[in-house]
Amino acid sequence: MDRFIVLPLLIPLTTAILAMIAPGRVPRRWVVRTALTLNLAAALWIFATILRDNTVLVTNAGAWPAPYGITLAVDELSALMLTITAVLALGVGIFGDITIDITRERFGFLPILNFMLMGINLAFITGDIFNLYVAFEVMLTGSFGLLVLGDRDNQIKGGIKYMIINLMSSTIFLLAIGLTYGVLGTLNMAHLAERAADVESPGILTILAAMYLVGFSIKAAAVPFFFWLPASYHTPPAAVTAIFGGILTKVGIYGMLRVHVFIFPNEMQHLQWLWLLMAGATMLVGVTGALYQREIRRVFSFLIISHVGYIMMGIGFDSRVGLAAAIFYMAHHMIVKTALFMMAGILEGIHKAKDLHRMGGTVNRAPVLSVLFFIAAMALSGIPPLSGFFAKFALLSAAFSAEQYILGGISLIVSLLTIIAVYRVWHEGFWKPAVDHILDPFIEEIVLERLDNVQRRLIVAPSVVLVGLAIGMGLFANASYELADRIAGQLLDRTRYVDAVLGDYQEEFEAENTLPPTFQVGRE
Amino acid sequence: MNFVLALTVGVLFGVSTYFLLKRSVVKLLLGVLMLSYGTELLIFMMGDLSERNMPILELGEEPFADPIPQALILTAIVIGFGFTAFTLMLAYRFYFDLRTEDLDQMVEETEVHG
């Protein structure tokens, strides 16, 4: 049964090919919608199996035994990320295939979306660190395609910044992988975790961990590597921004969880001051940028950065409480942010404007959308009883139990500033009276007039579901937090993952009464 | 031999940093290329340079060279090749739009507020 964990790779791959050869717009849409539903079903099934059996699902590509071949392994964290990604992909898939313009769809919006989804899923499934690099590259290739698809001037300019910075981050990541192989002599994550634990923290592992930190924090858009994100995320259509804002930076966070928490747990004590400094600066810089911006999607782009800071802060406490809070926060953030970006797209379509000053009066024109947006915005800024409140509460109690009072204070201030930024969007976009305005010259909005009634309901439906999830996470906060705590516990307890991946290998060496060949780290 | 290779990697990284700080799109591309070449050479060195046999079991002659770094480099080269093609296309498109390769001319079109 374990080999079914390749389904989240096979389904998007097949879909992408089918979507390329599909005859016409309507069949293509239905192929992709069906496939994304299947992908969600597969992810839920994997998650349910893991939670029920309390196990790690492992399969080895080409039946090469670990640690020699490429291992695919799914534990609780991977399964959670797979499931959230599948939910978001289905929502954005439906939102995207309706709202995207015909040119972009003809030039392959849906196939590229599925290729990118395959890369993201591979990043979560793989148990081999070089394979994680390959997954990042597959994901990046897809995201480059989506970012410049449509060929508008702003997209090309944003695309160059996005591309160069992300290529550099991948190269640094690859450099770190090469050095890791030189030092520890393996690439399998479980094997790495085992060997890194034996090495009593010599300087070389700290340098490696720092290199991974640079690579991943460029991907996650943490200060001081965040400039590419606000320069590019507002240029493509709303559907693309929604999937980017929800998932891509969080794949970088997932890399941190895998490498810094799982493989190099001992290095966190050396990097902690740097880590927490980056987290605090990321929170502050992100929210300050959001306060300054006037375009709705730019505001939310900066708020992504701010929330990456929160998640990094939770990881940086180097405790189970902090980790659980970070995982809870990440899940909440992915769901709410995607919903907000989709609704921002619809809002731009209603007003034919990007600038908040040119919007207004939406409460009367689109009451359902306004209520949804209000709930999502309140969830983002952390008002009880929604998911954001409990996520921030968990992080704050982790900060105080780690005796990081300054950082806890900063997170409270940032929380307050987030409310101001989000309230500004709500007031300007929805609450104030409608304003007459000249049309934005460079806007490329969703043309709502072309949609029939069913389609108009369908593009709001994903936001309804996601906002429902955010409310659910708040109402059942105890159960959600317990799940996050369980995931954090499993991530910190390496033995189960290591045994599941390397069980046969260890038995083989124990049977011959010899120890696995350990690698001597280059130290006198 | 290790020293010469290490020096080459260092020079490649230095040159790539210099290029990455330039304003021209083409030099930016060259910088990224140099960076990936340096990285690939460094992974090559991780395979412990020495005279060994090919990693083919049927030859049966020990010791073998480590095949993993070779596989890693090959993968990295293929990925890098694809990205280079894509970046070249972007750079061409950039030049086509602006008739310049100077990144400082890249001013984002923002509307006139008011």
Return the CATH number at B75. 1.10.287
How high is the pLDDT of residue A267? 87
For the segment A168-226, what is each residue's pLDDT rounded down to a tens digit?
999 999 999 999 998 888 899 999 998 888 776 678 899 999 999 999 999 999 988 99
3-state secondary structure of A446: coil
What is the arithmetic mean of pLDDT over B5-23? 93
| Residue B106 domain flag | yes
Enumerate residue ranges in chain A where pLDDT < 70. 1, 200-201, 437-444, 509-524
B contact set with A (CB within 8 A): 20, 25, 28, 32, 35-36, 39, 42-43, 45-46, 68-69, 72, 75-76, 79, 82-83, 86-87, 90-91, 93-94, 97, 103, 106, 108-109, 111, 113
Tell me what pLDDT residue A440 has.
62
Structure tokens belonging to residue B43 = 């992974």
Q: Is the peptide bond before A67 cis (omega within 30 degrees of 0)?
A: yes
Q: Is there a contact between B111 and A134 if contact means CB atoms under 8 Å apart?
A: no
Q: CB-CB: which of A156, A174, A440 is closest to B76?
A: A174
- The torsion defined by the Cα of A208, A211, A213 and A218, in degrees rounded to 10, comes to -160
Phi and psi (nearest 5°) for B106?
A: -80, 90
Separation CA A163–CA A156 (nearest Å): 10
Q: Determine the Cα–Cα distance for residues A477 and A455; give it in Å rounded to an integer.
A: 33
- Which pLDDT value is given to residue A522? 38
CA pair distance A455, A461, nearest whole angstrom: 10
Q: How far is residue A502's CA from residue A350's CA, in Å, rounded to a whole number?
A: 56
Output phi, psi for A436, to 5 deg: -80, 140
Res B87 pLDDT > 80: yes
Question: Residue B39 belongs to what domain range?
Answer: 2-49+67-113
CB–CB of B90 and A163 under 8 A?
Answer: yes
pLDDT attached to residue B26? 87
Instruction: Return d(Cα A452, Cα A260) in angstroms, integer.
Output: 49
The confidence score (pLDDT) of residue A113 equals 95
Please report whether residue B54 resides in a domain: no
How far apart CA A489 and CA A487 sit, in angstroms, is 5
CB pairs under 8 A between A and B: 83
Q: Which of B36, B69, B82 sits opposite A181 (nearest CB)?
A: B69
Calpha distance A239→A150 (Å, rounded): 13
- Under 8 Å between Cβ of A115 and A16: yes
A148 interaction partners in chain B (CB closer than 8 Å):
90
Give the chain A residue whose CA is nearest to the CA of B46.
A182
Q: Per the CB < 8 Å rule, is B43 touching A137?
A: no
What is the structure's pLDDT at A443?
A: 62
Across the interface, of A156, A159, A440, the residue whose CB is closest to B111 is A440
Within a domain: B61: no
Cβ contacts of B90 on chain A, cutoff 8 Å: 148, 156, 159-160, 163
Nearest to A308 by CA among A289, A335, A290, A334: A334
| Closest residue in chain A to residue B48, using alpha carbons only | A182
Please tell me the distance from the alpha carbon of residue A76 to that of residue A497, in angstroms, as a whole number.
Answer: 10
- Among the listed residues A177, A308, A299, A28, the one whose alpha carbon sits nearest the alpha carbon of residue B39: A177
A156 touching B (Cβ < 8 Å): yes
Nearest CA-CA partner of B33 in B43, B21, B47, B20:
B20
Rg, Å, chain B Cα set? 20
Residue A107 — φ and ψ, nearest 5°? -90, 20
Distance, C-alpha B102 to centroid of its chain: 22
- Is the backbone peptide bond immediately before A23 cis, with ω within 30 degrees of 0? no
A294 touches chain B (CB under 8 A): yes
CA distance linking residue A350 with residue A313, whole number of Å? 38
Contact partners, residue A6, CB within 8 Å, separation at least 6: A59, A72, A125
What phi and psi values does residue A295 have, to the nearest 5 degrees?
-90, 140
Q: Count other C-beta atoms under 10 Å from residue A520's C-beta.
A: 7
Three-state DSSP class for A516?
coil
Tokens for A474, please give them.
């708040």
For position A153, what pLDDT does the model report? 81
Tokens representing residue B85 in the block: 């093609």
Q: Two tokens at B83?
A: 């990205």
A154 touching B, CB under 8 A?
Answer: yes
- Look at chain B and report how many structural domains it folds into: 1
Structure tokens at A306: 């701010």
- Supply the pTM of this predicted model: 0.92
Residue B60 lies inside a defined structural domain of this protein: no
Which pair of tokens denotes residue A106? Answer: 């003809």
Closest CA to A165 of A248, A254, A242: A248
What ipTM goes with this model? 0.91
Closest-CA distance of chain A to residue B114, Å? 9
Interface contact A181-B68, CB threshold 8 A:
yes
**Partners of A58 in the beta sheet?**
A73
CB atoms within 10 A of CB A202: 12
Q: Tell me whether residue B58 is in a domain.
A: no
Q: Select from B12, B41, B74, B79 the residue whose CB has the most chain A CBs within 10 Å, as the one to mutate to test that interface.
A: B79
- Indicate whether B114 pLDDT > 50: no
Give B79's contacts in chain A (Cβ within 8 Å): 134, 137
Q: Is residue B59 in a domain?
A: no
Q: What is the DSSP letter of A58?
A: E
Contact state of B108 with A154 under an 8 Å Cβ cutoff: yes
